[in-house]
A and B are shown apart, each in its own frame.
Chain A
Amino acid sequence: MSIIVYTESWEEKFRKSTFEAVSYASEVAKMLSTNVIAISFGEESSEELAKLGNYGAEKVLACNQIEKGDSEATSNFLAENSIDANIIVFATTNTSKMIASRLSAKIKAGIVSNVIELPSEVSPVTLKRKSFSSKAIEQVKVNSDKAIICLASNSYGVIENHKNCSIEKKTINSSENIRFKGQEIANGKLSLAEAEIIVSAGRGLKGPENWKMIEDLAETLGAATACSKPVSDIGWRSHDEHVGQTGKAVAPNLYFAIGISGAIQHLAGVNSSKVMVVINTDPEAPFFKSADYGIVGDAFEIVPKLIEEIKKIR
C-alpha cells in the first residue's frame, strides 16, 4: 500500500520538483497511514539518494542509470514495483509525463497532471488541478483503484520531514528501441520551471541589443530570463525562453513583466506566479489588471534604477 514516487535528477542532483513530489507523497502517505518509496534511475551518489529521506521517503529503490528518454524501461520497472501501491506520484515535467502516461496505460490507473493540492479525498482520489492553461481550476475524481498524480511545479512546496531512509540497489536493462545520441545543455541558464524569480521582457524593449539590462537584473536577483511570444517569433530571444500559453507555463514566486502588454495568451502561461510586477509605458496595458505591483514608465530608465536599488539590499 506504500506510495511510490518517481524521482528525476539533473547532473546527478535531484530536481527541486522531485523534492516537492516526495514532500507531497509523504503527506498523502500520512493520510493513508502508510509510507513512501522513491524510485530513481539516475545513478545518484548515496549522499544524494539519502536526501530523499529528508522529505519523507523511507526507502529508495535506486536503479542503475537509465536514459531519461527511455520511458519503456522506466515505466516497466515502475509497474512491477507498484503492484501493491494505489498512488504513484510524479512531478509535472516533460520527462515525468512521458513515463507517467505510459505507466497509466500499463497498470490502468487514472492519471491527473498539473495537480496543485493534496487530495480532498483519498477514496476515491479527488484532486484539484490547473486546467484551460491556468485559466481554470478543475476538480477531478479518479475512478480506477490506482491513481497517478503529477504535481505541478512550485505548487506544494518542499517540506522537510526526516525519515530513516534505506537504499536498495536494483539493476534493470534499457530498452533496445532507442539510441541516445547526446544531450545539449542550455549553458549557464537557470531553468524556467524551477526558478524562484523570473525576469521577462517583451517587444517594449525595441530590440535584442537591449536585453543586457534584463540579464543584469536577472543576475542581480538570481533569476531566470524569459520573453513573450512575439519576441521569440521575431528571433530576438530563443524559443526556450518563450513563456505563455503555447510556450512554457511557469509558476515562480516573483515574475517581472517588462515591456509586455499582457495578452490573454501570455497571462495564461504566467498567472500562476505568486507575485507579478509589471513595468510598462502604457498605463492601459492589460497586464496592470493582473499584476500585484506596477510602475508606469520607461523600462530603459526604471530597470537600471531597479538593479541599483536591489544591489543595496543584497
Chain B
Amino acid sequence: MNILVCISSVPDTTTKINFSDNGSKFDSSGVQFVINPYDEFGLTKAIMLKEKHGGKVTTITVGELNIEPVIRKALAIGADEAVRVNMSPKDSYSTAVEISNYISENTFDLIICGKESSDYNGGVVGGIIAELTNRPFVNACNGLSITQNTANLYREIDGGKENLEIDLPIIIGGQKGLVEESELRIPNMRGIMQARTKPLLVIEPKMNDILTESISFEKPSERGDCKIISNENVSELVSLLQNEAKVI
C-alpha cells in the first residue's frame, strides 16, 4: 500500500507566539519547530499500516530549506522517503494545489493530512486536496482500519462518531484516535542514522493563485487580574459569577 502523509512544520506547542514587522509576520526567531501534532498521529498510523500490509510511506511538506530537520525527524520515525515542495507556504489553497500536483503524478492508495495545523488552524488543506484530486474525503478521522481495498473509518462529529466504509483511494484529515498518544514513536539512534540517507526529493512549485492573505496579527486582549476569593467564602464566588460576570 502506498501512503502519502502531508506534514506541516509548526512551532512547538509550548511556544510563546510573537509577531514582528509591526505585527504583520510571525516571529520565528528562537522558535523550535516540530511535526504538527495532528500529522504525527497520521504518520504513526501510516507506519503501522505499512508494517501490517507492506508498501511505502512517503511524506510531503511545503516549505523552504529551513524545515528539513522536521522532515528528517519524520524519516527517523519511520517514513521511507520524503518530498519537499520548495516554497514558503502562503495560504491553504496554494499549499493544497502543490500537494495535489504531486499526487496527480504518482499513485497513492491513502493520503493522510492532519485535521488542521496547530499554527494557522485552517483545517481545510485536506478537503481542497480531495476536491482537486477527486477522491472521497473524511475529516476529523479518529479510527481507521483497512481490509483488502476498503477502509473502515470513524469520524468525530459533535455529539458522537460516525462509522463509514469507503473503497481506496481516499484522503483523510487525521487526529488522536487514529493511534493513541502512547503509540506515538520517538526516533531511536538507528532511525536517526538511517534518516540521513533516506531520499528527500525537492520539487519546485508551479506558482499558484493565492486566495487568502494574512494582513496582520494581534494578541488577544489580556484578561484583568484574577480576583482571588478566600476558600472560606465560596458563596462570594457564586455571587460574583451571578451578579458581576452574569454567567450563571
| Size category, B interface | 35 or more
With both chains docked as a complex, state the minimum distance between the C-beta of B146 and any C-beta of chain A, in angstroms: 15
With both chains docked as a complex, state the minimum distance between the C-beta of A123 and any C-beta of chain B, in angstroms: 15
Contact residues, A266-314 vs B (CB, 8 A)? 268, 271-272, 274-278, 288-298, 301-302, 305-306, 309-310, 312-313
Give complex CA distance A233, B182 in Å: 8
B207 is an interface residue with CB less than 8 A from chain A: no
Contact of A277 among B132, B142, B161, B237 (CB under 8 A): B237
Asked if A93 contacts B158 (CB within 8 A), the reply is: yes
Give complex CA distance A194, B138 in Å: 22
Interface centre among B120, B132, B165, B234 (most CB of A within 10 A): B234
Contact of B157 among A95, A131, A289, A293 (CB under 8 A): A95
Asked if B124 contacts A111 (CB within 8 A), the reply is: yes
Contact of B247 among A197, A272, A278 (CB under 8 A): A197
Interface centre among A94, A189, A302, A305 (most CB of B within 10 A): A94
Q: Which residues of B contact A92 (CB under 8 A)?
A: 123
Give complex CA distance A254, B248 in Å: 8
A31 is an interface residue with CB less than 8 A from chain B: no
Contact of B240 among A100, A197, A293 (CB under 8 A): A293
Q: Which residues of B contact A110 (CB under 8 A)?
A: 91, 93, 211-212
Give complex CA distance A111, B218 in Å: 20
A135's nearest neighbour on chain B, judged by CB, is B17
Binds A, one of B73-81, B190-198, B219-227: B219-227
Asked if B223 contacts A292 (CB within 8 A), the reply is: yes
Asked if B166 contacts A113 (CB within 8 A), the reply is: no
With both chains docked as a complex, state the minimum distance between the C-beta of B118 and any C-beta of chain A, in angstroms: 6
B30 is an interface residue with CB less than 8 A from chain A: no
Contact residues, B102-137 vs A (CB, 8 A)? 115, 118-128, 130-132, 136-137
Q: Which residues of B contact A298 (CB under 8 A)?
A: 231
Binds A, one of B48-56, B58-66, B173-181: B173-181
Asked if A136 contacts B17 (CB within 8 A), the reply is: yes
Contact of B220 among A71, A271, A313 (CB under 8 A): A271
Q: Which residues of B contact A103 (CB under 8 A)?
A: 131
- Give chain A's interface residues, CB within 8 Å of chain B: 10, 15, 67-69, 71-72, 75, 92-95, 97-106, 108-114, 126, 130-144, 175, 177-186, 189, 191, 193-194, 197, 221, 233, 239-240, 242, 245-247, 253-254, 263-265, 268, 271-272, 274-278, 288-298, 301-302, 305-306, 309-310, 312-313
Q: 16 extra interchain contacts, Cβ-Cβ under 8 A, other than A110-B93, A135-B16, A310-B238?
A: A67-B162, A71-B137, A104-B131, A104-B211, A113-B124, A136-B219, A136-B220, A137-B218, A140-B213, A143-B209, A143-B212, A179-B164, A180-B163, A268-B13, A293-B245, A302-B231
